[in-house]
Structure 1
Amino acid sequence: MNRITDLFQTKPNRILNVYFTAGYPKLDDTVSILRALEASGADLIEIGIPFSDPVADGPTIQASNDVALSNGMTLKLLMEQLKDIRSQVSIPIVLMGYINPIVQYGIEQFCADCADRGIDGLILPDLPMYEYLEVYKPVFEKNGLLNIFLITPQTSEARIREIDNNSSGFIYMVSSASTTGAKTGISEEQEAYFQRVNQMGLKNPRLIGFGISNKKTFDKACENANGAIIGSAFIKVLAQEGDLSLNIDQYVKSVIG
């Protein structure tokens, strides 16, 4: 049983998925952040692989990518940092990134290294569906990796059903057509989109991302899906002065109440 699948079976709602960029704020913070997130009550963790052109991400996450790359973070180094992570962290871990660094790393090697470290899934926004099905799916499945696709308010019903049929774990439900961190709050238009998707009877659970930053927006997302993803707001927490673990604990607990 994949940890992600298991999570949604044991806790079908109010799932909190927290995103952070590997190598930010400091190069060696990755494991400390993972441990602090689990201890504070996060259900699932999404580690961003730094990339020079993160097209889906807004200014806050782009800036964290720049800092992480300047710090010297690479995919190879991230794999080294995660080598013994399953002796310290038990909740599901997903890697989020763009396909270019993974192709350079070598797809077979990347998937094997993910499996070795207990990574549960991947979010690759620029991986086309047809390429996933023809090239990547067998390698992902062999290594127990779930591929998580994104949908937006502009995604057609036919496309949403195709994504639902060809994925497992959960669907990343982008709340708006903007980049990450661009909006706060959830509009009536967004709620109508959430309800439209809810009525489709999809087999996969859904997490809402983009614009989730506090208890109010988390609660609203949980009314419309199985939970939510917080990214930009958490990156801002990591930038704060003071004790990193304490800041993480206070923030996560303020969100989940």
Structure 2
Amino acid sequence: MKIETTKITDRIADAFQKDGKLLSIYFTAGYPNLEDTLPILRELQNSGVDMIEIGLPFSDPLADGPTIQESSMAALKNGMTTKKLFEQIRDVRPEIHLPLILMGYFNPVLQFGVEAFCRECQKAGIDGLILPDLPLEIYEKEYRPVFEQYNLKMIFLITPQTSVERIRRIDSASDAFIYMVSSASTTGARSGFEASAASYFERISEMNLRNPQIVGFGISNAQTFGQATRHARGAIIGSAFIKNLSENGISGISGFIKSLRP
């Protein structure tokens, strides 16, 4: 099946052309139930989010807090696999027009085969990948050509401890957006950001990077969404969304999304 590459490469850029702050939602594929992936995608799109990150569950999610870890374990027990996820999303593009990003760890990609993984991503119309444990240097040395061959944007993370030199290098190597981790801790909802985090957001904004920045980790409600996006183009909500999904199911998605944008 031939994919129209212009549509793949433009969806992320188009999302950043919209007015207002961009809202991206992360969820774990195969959670709460194995076949919930497509219903969740539909409901998120209908609820007005701007971008979606589909989490590929992994048995050793080192950077994830307890909520996402538990959802990953449950998804794996449900029978979620890389192959199963591709089967679920292979035909979503006529229906789902939002940017779709796969987020996970590099080990399952290696096990699947890097080029085979990228080929399946292209078939499904995936726009980008977030692989936190794939270092920039290894990506540039070994994998960049195959990612680009299949029109996949690689999205890198920075933290408050990332040096200016490395941020500049990541910005140069990127062509989508930069994932700005709010702190060096694991993922998880917080009630608010400390002054040091606000200072970090402002400092990165003043660097005038080529790529827009989206803040992730610790965003759970309208207050923290507003704080995170004061100096950034958008924010990502994961743990708080998964918690809401656990408590209220797919029917509770719309109300949760509406609560984030007063």
Helix, strand or coil at the partner of 1:224: coil
Q: What is the CA deviation profile of residues 44-101 of structure 1, one whole-angstrom value per residue up to 9, with x for unaligned ones?
A: 0000000001111000000000000000100000000001110221000000000000
What is the root-mean-square deviation of aligned Cα atoms in Å? 1.1
Distance (whole Å) between structure 2 residues aligned to residue 159 and residue 12 of structure 1: 30
In structure 2, relative to structure 1, the CA distance for the partners of 1:14 and 1:192 (3 Å cut) is: same
Distance (whole Å) between structure 2 residues aligned to residue 189 and residue 121 of structure 1: 30
Q: How does 1:12-27 map to 2 (within 5 A)?
A: 13-27=20-34
Alignment counterpart, residue 105 of structure 2, candidates 98, 109, 126: 98
Number of residue pairs the alignment of both structures matches = 254
Task: Determine the structure 2 residue equivalent to 1:142.
Answer: 149
Is contact 1:27-1:73 (8 Å) kept?
Answer: yes
Is contact 2:189-2:219 (8 Å) kept?
Answer: no
Is contact 1:13-1:225 (8 Å) kept?
Answer: no
- Percent identity reads 56
Query: What TM-score comes out, normalization by structure 1 length?
Result: 0.96
Alignment counterpart, residue 87 of structure 1, candidates 75, 86, 94: 94
Query: What TM-score comes out, normalization by structure 2 length?
Result: 0.95
Helix, strand or coil at the partner of 2:34: coil
Alignment counterpart, residue 254 of structure 1, candidates 249, 252, 259: 259
Gaps of 5+ in 2: 1-5
Is it true that 1:235 corresponds to 2:214 in the alignment? Answer: no
Task: Determine the structure 2 residue equivalent to 1:64.
Answer: 71
Q: How does 1:154-173 map to 2 (within 5 A)?
A: 154-173=161-180
Distance (whole Å) between structure 1 residues aligned to residue 189 and residue 253 of structure 2: 22
Is it true that 1:78 corresponds to 2:85 in the alignment? Answer: yes
In structure 2, relative to structure 1, the CA distance for the partners of 1:110 and 1:12 (3 Å cut) is: farther
Helix, strand or coil at the partner of 1:239: helix
Alignment counterpart, residue 122 of structure 2, candidates 115, 119, 122: 115
Task: Determine the structure 2 residue equivalent to 1:6.
Answer: 14
Is it true that 1:43 corresponds to 2:50 in the alignment? Answer: yes
Gaps of 5+ in 1: none
Is contact 2:221-2:260 (8 Å) kept?
Answer: yes
